[in-house]
């Protein structure tokens, strides 16, 4: 059974987490302003007849079909203009349901990444809930595409994809190109402002997390990075650099059992009501692993299952911390142990994947 409940934030966020929330929210794009330019953009993006200066018709039978969208998105009947050379498909998704882990924009964004490929490499893998819109375009050998996603006034969503195959007739192709460029510019103006630069360690953790997603929908909401594994809703709600309160050597050979025992004692004092599912320990190194030692612990407290990854830096003075949380189940007592185990396994797998991605991206 899929648990779509969202991990909630702790009552007090750490300073790195507060900074993360502030920086991620700078990516917000305002709803399309009521200006003359905005109205012109809306006419191009929303009114196919006005943009194409041609009457939309049913698409020819030989027009390549657009793949099915993710669950929750309702497709309109596709329309074509320019004798079938321009194909337009729209989808609609309702406002976010309270119990969902990731929203409709996140699923559409992930789906679009798998279809657009290379043109989206410069875009974040996770959808930022501060965005009101975004757009991407691509140019293939036989067709060009523009895709936009926008939030509506009632918080529902609309996604539109244009696919244009240039005419073989020179004069017609030049005129269509001039209209297509107007569409591209209007779509580009829907892209959110550039996110402020993250502190180095948070940016490194963010890139490692994105590398673990493997096409799964993910989103950023306030100070939580959220995604799912095997139906378990997960969230990274703490990430940042801190001083080492107990020595955690970067070199695995320098680690001592008493150091790990001291850290477990410190954790137990910090979380006195916790049920320890996996005590503080050295994370097993993959067969082809590189870089320094990494440590992890898992515990249950305050209706959540938490797992934390510690990544010592080479200076042996500072540590990158990443915490993954999942809401504890509210099922019957007879089912609770199995549900807690499922969350524990999901978090352990994500911690191992995050550590491996960190090594691959940031260690030499």
272: tokens are 């006195």
Q: Does the residue 284 lie in any domain? A: yes
| Domain range for 264 | 15-25+196-362
Using CB atoms within 10 Å of the CB of residue 28, give its burial: 0 to 12 exposed, 13 to 18 middle, 19+ buried.
middle
Confidence of residue 100 (pLDDT cuts 50, 70, 90): confident
Contact 97, 69 (CB under 8 A): no
Work out the percent of the chain whose per-residue pLDDT is above 70: 87
Same domain assignment for residues 240 and 353: yes
Starting at the edge strand that comes first in sequence, how are the strands of the sheet with 318-327 ordered? 127-128, 218-221, 224-229, 232-243, 318-327, 304-312, 295-301, 275-282
Residue 339 shares a structural domain with residue 294: yes
Question: Does 7 map to a domain?
Answer: no
If asked whether residues 179 and 213 sit together in one domain, one would say: no
* Cβ neighbours of residue 291 closer than 8 Å, sequence gap 6 or more: 358, 359, 362, 363, 364
Domain-terminating residue out of 188, 223, 250: 188
Among residues 149, 169, 188, which one ends one of the domains?
A: 188
Least-confidence region, from 13-27, 138-152, 314-328, 344-358: 13-27
Is the model more confident about 363 or about 11?
363
Helix (H, G, I), strand (E, B) or coil at 79: strand
pLDDT at 15 over 50: no
Between 141 and 280, residue with greater pLDDT:
280
- Looking at 188, 205, 221, the residue that finishes a domain is 188
Q: What is the pLDDT of residues 318-337, one digit of tens each?
A: 889 999 999 877 766 667 78
Question: In angstroms, rounded to a whole number, what is the distance separating the alpha carbons of residues 46 and 322?
Answer: 42
Count: domains in the chain: 2
Please check whether residues 175 and 247 belong to one and the same domain. no
Q: Which tokens belong to 337?
A: 């142990």
CATH of the domain at 204: 3.40.1000
Kindly state the helix (H) or strand (E) to which residue 276 belongs, with its residue range. strand 275-282
- Pair 351, 210 in one domain: yes
Same domain assignment for residues 302 and 161: no
Are both 147 and 282 inside the same structural domain? no
Alpha helices in the chain (DSSP H): 15-25, 36-46, 48-52, 104-116, 170-188, 200-213, 257-270, 333-362
> What average pLDDT does the chain have?
84
Residue 120 binned pLDDT confidence (cut-offs 50, 70, 90) = low
DSSP tag of 103: -
Higher pLDDT, 33 or 149: 149
Residues 180 and 202 occupy one common structural domain: no
Q: Are residues 323 and 181 in the same domain?
A: no
**Is residue 213 domain-shared with residue 358, that is, in the same domain?**
yes
Q: What burial letters (b/e) apply to 247-277, b meaning 16+ CB within 10 Å?
A: ebebeeeebeeebbeebbeebeeebeebeeb
pLDDT of residue 96: 85
What was the pLDDT predicted at 355? 94
pLDDT at 193: 81
pLDDT tens sequence across 272-289: 999 999 999 999 887 777
- For residue 308, being part of any structural domain is answered with yes
pLDDT at 4 > cutoff 70 = no
Predicted local confidence at residue 331, as pLDDT: 66
Query: Looking at the domain assignment, is residue 5 inside a domain?
Result: no
Question: Looking at residue 3, what is its pLDDT?
Answer: 38
Burial of 104 (0-12, 13-18, 19+ CB in 10 A): buried
Position with higher pLDDT, 303 vs 196: 303
Q: pLDDT-based confidence at 147, cuts 50/70/90? A: very high
- Residue 82: pLDDT band with limits 50, 70, 90: very high
Q: How far apart are CA 240 and CA 246, in angstroms?
A: 17
Q: Is 314's pLDDT higher than 60?
A: yes
State the pTM of this model: 0.84
Q: Say if 3 falls within a structural domain.
A: no
Q: Is the pLDDT of residue 192 over 80?
A: yes
Asked if residue 30 belongs to a domain, the reply is: no
In a domain, 237, yes or no: yes
Tell me, yes or no, whether 1 lies in a domain: no
CA dihedral 17→21→24→29, nearest 10 degrees, is 180
Distance CA 157, CA 267 (A): 43
> Is 317 in the same domain as 282?
yes
218 and 358 both lie in a single domain = yes
């Amino acid at each position: 059974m899929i648990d779509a409940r969202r991990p909630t934030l702790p009552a007090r966020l750490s300073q790195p987490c507060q900074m993360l929330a502030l920086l991620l929210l700078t990516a917000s794009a305002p709803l399309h302003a009521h200006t003359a330019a905005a109205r012109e953009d809306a006419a191009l993006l929303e009114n196919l007849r006005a943009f194409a200066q041609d009457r939309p018709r049913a698409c020819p039978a030989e027009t390549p079909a657009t793949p099915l969208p993710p669950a929750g998105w309702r497709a309109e009947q596709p329309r074509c203009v320019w004798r079938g050379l321009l194909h337009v498909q729209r989808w609609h998704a309702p406002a976010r349901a309270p119990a969902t882990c990731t929203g409709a924009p996140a699923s559409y964004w992930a789906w679009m990444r798998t279809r657009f490929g290379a043109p989206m490499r410069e875009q974040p893998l996770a959808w930022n809930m501060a965005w009101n819109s975004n757009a991407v375009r691509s140019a293939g050998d036989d067709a060009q595409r523009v895709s936009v996603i926008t939030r509506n006034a009632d918080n529902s969503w609309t996604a539109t994809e244009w696919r244009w195959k240039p005419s073989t007739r020179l004069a017609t192709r030049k005129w269509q190109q001039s209209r297509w460029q107007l569409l591209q510019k209007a779509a580009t103006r829907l892209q959110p402002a550039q996110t402020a630069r993250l502190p180095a360690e948070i940016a490194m953790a963010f890139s490692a997390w994105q590398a673990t997603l493997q096409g799964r929908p993910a989103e950023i909401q306030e100070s939580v990075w959220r995604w799912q594994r095997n139906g378990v809703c997960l969230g990274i709600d703490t990430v940042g650099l801190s001083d080492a309160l107990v020595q955690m050597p970067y070199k695995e050979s320098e680690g001592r059992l008493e150091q790990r025992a001291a850290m477990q004692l410190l954790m137990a004092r910090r979380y006195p009501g916790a049920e320890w599912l996996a005590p503080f320990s050295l994370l097993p190194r993959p067969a082809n692993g590189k870089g320094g030692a990494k440590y992890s612990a898992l515990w249950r407290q305050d209706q959540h299952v938490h797992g934390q990854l510690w990544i010592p830096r080479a200076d042996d003075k500072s540590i990158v911390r990443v915490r993954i949380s999942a809401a504890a189940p509210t099922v019957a007592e007879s089912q609770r142990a199995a549900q807690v185990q499922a969350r524990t396994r999901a978090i352990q797998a994500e911690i191992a994947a995050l550590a491996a991605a960190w090594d691959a991206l940031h260690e030499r």
